[in-house]
């Protein structure tokens, strides 16, 4: 199976793309999951500029790297979000933010997601990873009381906004891998079921499996892989550590910054948290996933120049291939 191990560049977009490629190559990564921010990839240029695409591919080749997926979480987030506010202003470029009028922001974000699909196709990439945003995440506490009709409308809003985007994905032969994540339309098991139903289970829409978001919600990341096996289009390796045993730290994080010891959980470098990695990789073997395994490095308590190469070593050790024959085959006399 020999699945490639890649580095997601989203947390490295403060560095020039070539610098990230150099580091990943020196550490021994097979490729990059390229983020559509910083100078790493511009979907607007990528969808129409042949020279730009050729330059990116030549740079990757120069460092012995490949690309199997690109990611546009930040613009995908703005497609469905309500409200659109200062958080979005802080992460969106001027051409998407515009004058900040919410519906205009959503429409321009949707157009960038279409451009991202076209850019992926021109790079020879079959998967775009990202977020969808959500008009109903703000109701997660279900108080003040939220009607069924309001929740239904949120899923309909998602379908109305994403089906035209997915039409472009279909046109260019690329799939979208939604990262199941709090603040999105699909953030746990049952909301994933509901989200797939909302768009009629169309093939263009699948899932990016990132187990860190399952761990702190007390969900089973291994069972999720088994149940949604036909929709696992991409895998991100990120870890999370729970710290809720003292009766003070809450599951919701208490509006505290990352790495604050009063938080009930934190993202940590791959292998340092509570994700059952060996069982997860064994399940990936069972469901026949042969795509990239991408290290998404996030840890507010560790330097990334230490964490990224260490995570690669950890993944290579545990993400072993399935056996070519059953262990008890040697017992047979036939």
Structure-token pair, residue 153: 């409308």
Stretch 16-32: mean pLDDT: 98
User: SS3 of 281, please?
Assistant: helix
Residue pair 319/291 in contact (Cβ under 8 Å)? The answer is: no
Residue 332 has pLDDT above 90, yes or no: no
Task: Write down the pTM of the prediction.
Answer: 0.96
Beta strands at 232-237 and 239-242: parallel, antiparallel or unpaired: unpaired
> Max Cα separation, the chain?
76
Question: What SS3 state is found at 206?
Answer: strand
pLDDT in tens, 55-92: 999 999 999 999 999 999 999 999 999 999 999 999 99
The matching CATH number, chosen from 3.30.565.10, 3.20.20.150, 3.40.50.970, 3.40.50.1820, for 5-324 is 3.20.20.150
- What is the rounded distance in angstroms from the CA atom of residue 162 to the CA atom of residue 307? 35
What are 148-207's pLDDT values in tens digits? 999 999 999 999 999 999 999 999 999 999 999 999 999 999 999 999 999 999 999 999
CA distance 46 to 90: 23
pLDDT tens track for 238-291: 999 999 989 999 999 999 999 999 999 999 999 999 999 999 999 999 999 999
Q: Which residues neighbour 325 within 8 Å (Cβ) at sequence distance 6 or greater? A: none
């Amino acid at each position: 199976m020999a699945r490639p191990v890649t580095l997601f560049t989203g947390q490295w977009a403060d560095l020039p793309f070539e610098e990230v490629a150099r580091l990943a190559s020196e550490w021994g990564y097979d490729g990059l999951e390229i983020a559509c921010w910083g100078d790493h990839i511009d979907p607007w240029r990528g969808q129409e500029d042949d020279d730009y695409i050729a330059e990116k591919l030549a740079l990757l080749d120069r460092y012995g790297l490949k690309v199997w997926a690109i990611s546009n979480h930040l613009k995908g987030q703005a497609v469905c979000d309500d409200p659109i506010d200062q958080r979005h202003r802080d992460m969106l470029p001027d051409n998407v933010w515009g004058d900040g009028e919410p519906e205009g922001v959503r429409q321009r974000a949707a157009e960038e997601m279409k451009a991202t699909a076209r850019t992926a196709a021109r790079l020879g990439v079959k998967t775009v990873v990202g977020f969808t945003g959500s008009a109903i995440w703000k109701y997660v506490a279900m108080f003040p009381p939220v009607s069924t009709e309001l929740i239904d409308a949120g899923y309909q809003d998602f379908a109305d906004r994403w089906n035209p985007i997915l039409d472009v994905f279909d046109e260019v032969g690329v799939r979208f891998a939604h990262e199941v994540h709090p603040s999105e339309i699909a953030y746990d098991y049952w909301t994933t079921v509901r989200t797939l139903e909302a768009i009629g289970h169309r093939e263009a829409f699948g899932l990016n499996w990132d187990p860190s978001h399952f761990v702190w919600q007390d969900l089973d990341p291994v069972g999720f892989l088994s149940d949604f096996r036909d929709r696992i289009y991409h895998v991100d390796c990120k870890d999370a550590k729970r710290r809720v045993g003292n009766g003070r730290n809450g599951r919701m994080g208490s509006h505290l910054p990352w790495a604050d010891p009063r938080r009930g959980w934190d993202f940590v470098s791959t292998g340092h948290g509570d994700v059952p990695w060996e069982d997860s990789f064994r399940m990936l073997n069972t469901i026949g996933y042969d795509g990239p395994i991408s290290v998404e490095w996030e840890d507010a308590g560790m330097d990334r120049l230490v964490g990224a190469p260490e995570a690669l070593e950890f993944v290579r050790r545990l993400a072993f291939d399935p056996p070519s024959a059953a262990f008890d085959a040697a017992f047979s006399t036939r």
